[in-house]
């Protein structure tokens, strides 16, 4: 990935990568004042974890007025679908009212019509994207969600999930549903003050995966391949639940300035939110309470353990990860160094698909 940062403009050439976007997020000028121009005309690949990072950054930059330069989308299929729709970047450009231009002129209205014109679900070969999770309260109901997921599952090779052992099926569905529920309950509640918002769940299936050597995900893929079970794999499933709301620390602390200064204060609030029973909802009284609030991440962690999954939780200035190849890892591990501010919260899960019935590997 080649990134040219000049004044308040960003130009990306080649691969858009996670480290490359993190480099951009660390630039204070973009963090507090916003980028004025984002040139994506020469992007030819969007790596795992890069699309949603850039999309959430766009939600900040758009508040200051952002101009994005993109290749001609044509009929929104082909390379455009592969690079901009599957990655979530196209959805972010539309949701936040960015001025979008090609070499031929302004296409902002076409972008908005395509992504926001009443279409909340988009499907393609091996992928599903469902937007506006913050408005889909019906997905909180376990039975309704099971039916809805039954409509998504054939696109990613999970059409046989109904035949999975009950404990596996329930754990898997609860993991996704709880992540979606967190978006509805927390992302755009107090102290969120944004003018626009984008939330979605993305499901994708891959034949092969690559990651930055030495990265947490890279070590997970290497360990999984070295376990002798990779040959049994039918591919990989990726689940991404995205919101660009107030972030875990601000929601838990109810402090809008928590992303300034010492990150220790942010860490304290974030870790409190992750503790069992640590939900802020009983105090704020601004979201519907189902069952015992504060145990969503307990259910999510159970699903990660069952399927030898890798997961990254990115929110505010912090990244946390869970590596299912390391045996019974006890919860998420927080990154040693603070990152640049990324609004919202993203849960990014990867796990090997060995059967359509989600059998637990022995």
Instruction: Give tens-digit pLDDT for 274-327.
Output: 886 545 554 544 455 455 544 567 778 888 888 889 999 999 999 999 998 876
Rounded to an integer, what distance in angstroms lies between the CA atom of residue 351 and that of residue 173?
A: 14
Tell if the pTM clears 0.95, that is, is over it.
Answer: no
Q: Which residues contact 184 (CB under 8 A, 6 or more apart)?
A: 133, 134, 136, 137, 139, 140, 287
Options 3.40.190, 3.40.1000, 3.30.750, 1.10.101; CATH for 2-117 is: 3.30.750
Buried b or exposed e, range 25-44, using 16+ CB within 10 angstroms: beeeebbeebbebbbbeebe
Share of the chain above pLDDT 70, in %: 88
What single DSSP character describes residue 82?
A: I
Rounded to an integer, what distance in angstroms lies between the CA atom of residue 332 and that of residue 326?
A: 12
pLDDT at 226: 61
pLDDT at 200: 96
Rounded to an integer, what distance in angstroms lies between the CA atom of residue 325 and that of residue 219?
A: 9
Q: Is omega for the bond preceding 7 within 30 degrees of 0, making it cis?
A: no
Strands 333-334 and 318-323: antiparallel
- The H-assigned helical ranges of the chain are 18-25, 28-32, 50-61, 78-80, 89-95, 108-116, 142-152, 166-182, 216-226, 248-253, 263-274, 281-284, 296-306
In the chain, where the domains are located:
2-117, 127-352
CA 74 to chain centre: 26
- Tell me: pLDDT of 267 over 50: yes
* Mean pLDDT across the chain: 86
Rounded to an integer, what distance in angstroms lies between the CA atom of residue 95 and that of residue 273?
A: 28
Rounded to an integer, what distance in angstroms lies between the CA atom of residue 134 and that of residue 200?
A: 9
How confident is the model over 340-354, as pLDDT tens digits? 899 999 999 998 887
How confident is the model over 23-70, as pLDDT tens digits? 999 887 776 777 899 999 999 999 999 999 999 999 989 988 999 999
CATH 3.30.565.10 fits 127-352, yes or no: yes
pLDDT average, residue stretch 10-15: 94
pLDDT at 49: 94
pLDDT at 293: 47
- Tell me: pLDDT of 356 over 70: no
């Amino acid at each position: 990935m080649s990134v040219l940062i000049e004044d308040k403009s960003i130009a990306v050439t080649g691969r858009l990568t996670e480290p490359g976007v993190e480099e951009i997020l660390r630039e204070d000028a973009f963090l507090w004042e916003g980028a004025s121009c984002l040139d994506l005309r020469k992007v030819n690949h969007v790596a795992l974890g890069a699309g949603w990072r850039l999309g959430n950054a766009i939600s900040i930059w758009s508040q200051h007025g952002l101009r994005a330069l993109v290749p001609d989308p044509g009929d929104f299929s082909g390379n455009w679908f592969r690079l901009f729709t599957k990655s979530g970047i196209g959805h972010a450009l539309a949701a936040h009212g960015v001025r979008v231009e090609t070499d031929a002129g302004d296409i902002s209205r076409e972008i908005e019509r395509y992504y926001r014109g009443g279409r909340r679900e988009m499907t393609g070969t091996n992928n599903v994207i469902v937007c506006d999770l913050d408005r889909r309260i019906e997905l909180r109901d376990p039975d309704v969600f099971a039916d809805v997921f039954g409509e998504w599952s054939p696109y990613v090779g999970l059409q046989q999930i109904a035949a999975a052992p009950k404990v596996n099926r329930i754990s898997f569905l609860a993991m996704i549903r709880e992540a979606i529920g967190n978006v509805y309950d927390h992302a755009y509640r107090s102290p969120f003050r944004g003018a626009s918002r984008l939330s979605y769940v993305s499901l994708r299936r891959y034949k092969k995966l690559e990651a930055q050597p030495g990265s947490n995900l890279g070590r997970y893929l290497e360990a999984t391949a070295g376990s002798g079970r990779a040959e049994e794999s039918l591919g990989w499933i990726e689940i991404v639940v995205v919101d660009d709301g107030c972030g875990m620390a601000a929601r838990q602390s109810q402090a809008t300035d928590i992303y300034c200064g010492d990150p220790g204060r942010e860490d304290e609030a974030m870790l409190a939110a992750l503790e069992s029973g640590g939900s802020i909802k009983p105090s704020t009284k601004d979201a519907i309470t189902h069952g015992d609030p504060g145990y969503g991440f307990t259910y999510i962690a159970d699903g990660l353990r069952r399927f030898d999954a890798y997961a990254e939780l990115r929110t505010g200035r912090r990244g946390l990860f869970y590596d299912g190849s390391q045996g019974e890892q006890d919860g998420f591990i927080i990154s040693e160094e603070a990152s640049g501010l990324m609004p919202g919260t993203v849960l990014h899960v990867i796990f090997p698909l060995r059967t359509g019935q989600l059998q637990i590997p022995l």
